[in-house]
C-alpha cells in the first residue's frame, strides 16, 4: 500500500504512460461531464446538478497525511444548464465544474468550462432529434509531493519519512499545471407520440486538442483523447412500470471501460411518464486495455447497484460499486459510493415544453 501512491504519481510523470480521467458510475447524473450534446436535453427550462463520489474511503481512512492528503479517492461535479426553445428546436447553454482528488498526495484535477448545444428536429412530427454540442474547459492538475511515500523510506518494518534520499526528479517538478481543453459530441434521440417509449444514442470526443499535462515540462506527456459512446432506451412494460437499459463504452489511451445494465422505474402517475417516480437497478463495469502491454486483457471490475427517486423536479440518486475483480481481496469488495442531486425547473408552471426529452 505504501508504494501505491508513488505509482499514481509515476503514471502522470512518466512520458510513456498517459493519465486517465476519473470515472463515474451514475454517468447520466453528470451529463456535461459525459457529452456536451447533453447540454439542455431535459424536460424543463433549467437544470442544476451535483454529484459526489468517494472510492476506497474505508480502506484508506488511516492513510491521510500531515500536509493535506485525504487518504481516499473522491470526485465532485457541478453543472447548471439552460434550454432556450427555438420553435420545435432548442438551444442549450451550460456551465460545469469538476474536482477530483486522489489519495494522500492529493493528485488532483480541477476543471471548469462552458458548453453549448443545438437541438434540431428531423421530422414534421417532432419525434426524431439530433443534437450537436461543443465545450471548452480550463483544467488545473495539482499534486503534493511532500506526502509521497517512497521505497527508500521503508525500513523493512515501518515507514520513516526521515530516512532515504529525496529524488531530484520530484524536486524539479512543478506542483501544478494549467491548460485548456476542447470537447465535442453528438446525440440522437427518438420519442414516441405518447412520450412513453424513447431511445437515444450519443458519441463524444474529449481532449480533442490533446493538451500537455507534464509537471516537468515534457511536451510529449499529453492527455489522450477520450472517446465515449452511450445509448439507452425507455420501454414501458406496464402502465406504471418502465425499464431503462443503458450502455456506456469509453476508450482513452490504452484503457477501455464498458458499463451496461438497466433501471426499473415505477411511475407514481401513469399519465405522466416523465414525472414523479421511484427507480432501482444494477450495472456491470468491465475494464481492460487495448494493447499487448495489458496482458490481463479485459476484466470484470465491479457490479453497481443504484436507486433513486424523482419528485416535483428533484432527482435524488445513490449508487454503490461492489468490487468483483481481484482487488476485492484487498478492499473486502468495498468500492465506490456516489450520491447525486438534480433539479429541473420551468419558468412558468403553466407552460409545457415543445419537446419531451428521454429519461437517462
Q: Provide the pLDDT confidence category of residue 167 given band limits of 50, 70 and 90.
A: low
In CATH terms, the fold of domain 4-345 is Porin (2.40.160)
Which residues, other chains included, contact 179 with Cβ-Cβ below 8 Å and sequence gap of 6+? 138, 139, 141, 211, 212, 213, 223
Give residue 195's pLDDT: 76
Give residue 28's pLDDT: 94
Classify each residue of 197-231 as buried b or exposed e, where b means 16 or more C-beta atoms within 10 Å of its C-beta: bbbbebbbbbbeeebebbbeeeeebbbbebebebb
**Is residue 150 predicted with pLDDT exceeding 80?**
no
Mean confidence (pLDDT) of the chain:
83
Give residue 1's pLDDT: 39
pLDDT digits (tens, 9 = 90+) for 45-77: 999 999 999 986 655 555 554 444 455 788 999
Q: Provide the pLDDT confidence category of residue 22 given band limits of 50, 70 and 90.
A: confident
pTM for the full model? 0.84
- Compute the distance between CA of residue 120 and CA of residue 130 in angstroms, rounded to an integer: 5
The domains of the chain are located at: 4-345
Which residues, other chains included, contact 62 with Cβ-Cβ below 8 Å and sequence gap of 6+? 71
**Is residue 185 predicted with pLDDT exceeding 50?**
yes
% helix / strand / coil in the chain, to the nearest 5? 10, 50, 40
Amino acid at each position: 500500500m505504501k508504494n501505491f501512491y508513488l505509482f499514481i504519481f509515476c503514471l502522470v510523470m512518466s512520458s510513456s504512460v498517459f493519465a486517465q480521467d476519473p470515472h463515474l458510475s451514475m454517468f447520466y447524473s453528470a451529463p456535461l461531464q459525459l457529452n456536451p450534446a447533453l447540454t439542455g436535453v431535459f424536460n424543463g427550462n433549467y437544470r442544476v446538478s451535483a454529484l459526489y463520489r468517494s472510492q476506497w474511503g474505508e480502506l484508506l481512512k488511516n492513510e491521510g497525511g500531515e500536509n493535506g492528503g485525504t487518504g481516499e479517492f473522491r470526485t465532485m461535479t457541478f453543472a447548471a444548464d439552460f434550454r432556450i426553445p427555438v420553435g420545435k428546436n432548442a438551444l442549450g447553454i451550460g456551465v460545469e465544474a469538476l474536482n477530483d482528488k486522489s489519495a494522500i498526495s492529493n493528485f488532483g484535477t480541477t476543471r471548469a468550462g462552458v458548453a453549448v448545444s443545438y437541438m434540431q428536429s428531423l421530422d414534421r412530427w417532432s419525434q426524431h432529434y439530433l443534437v450537436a454540442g461543443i465545450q471548452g474547459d480550463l483544467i488545473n492538475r495539482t499534486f503534493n509531493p511532500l506526502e509521497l511515500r517512497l521505497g527508500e523510506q521503508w525500513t523493512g518494518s515501518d515507514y520513516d519519512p526521515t530516512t532515504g534520499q529525496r529524488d531530484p526528479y520530484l524536486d524539479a517538478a512543478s506542483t501544478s499545471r494549467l491548460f485548456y481543453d476542447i470537447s465535442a459530441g453528438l446525440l440522437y434521440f427518438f420519442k414516441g407520440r405518447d412520450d412513453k417509449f424513447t431511445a437515444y444514442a450519443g458519441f463524444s470526443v474529449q481532449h480533442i486538442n490533446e493538451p500537455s499535462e507534464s509537471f516537468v515540462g515534457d511536451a510529449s506527456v499529453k492527455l489522450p483523447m477520450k472517446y465515449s459512446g452511450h445509448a439507452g432506451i425507455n420501454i414501458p412494460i406496464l402502465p406504471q412500470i418502465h425499464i431503462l437499459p443503458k450502455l456506456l463504452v469509453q476508450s482513452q489511451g490504452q484503457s477501455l471501460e464498458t458499463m451496461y445494465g438497466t433501471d426499473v422505474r415505477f411511475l407514481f402517475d401513469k399519465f405522466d411518464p416523465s414525472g414523479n417516480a421511484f427507480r432501482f437497478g444494477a450495472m456491470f463495469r468491465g475494464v481492460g486495455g487495448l494493447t499487448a502491454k495489458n496482458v490481463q486483457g479485459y476484466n470484470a471490475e465491479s457490479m453497481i447497484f443504484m436507486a433513486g427517486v424523482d419528485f416535483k423536479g428533484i432527482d435524488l440518486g445513490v449508487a454503490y460499486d461492489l468490487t468483483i475483480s481481484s482487488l476485492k481481496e484487498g478492499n473486502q469488495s468495498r468500492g465506490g459510493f456516489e450520491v447525486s442531486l438534480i433539479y429541473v425547473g420551468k419558468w412558468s408552471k403553466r407552460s409545457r415544453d415543445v419537446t419531451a426529452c428521454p429519461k437517462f
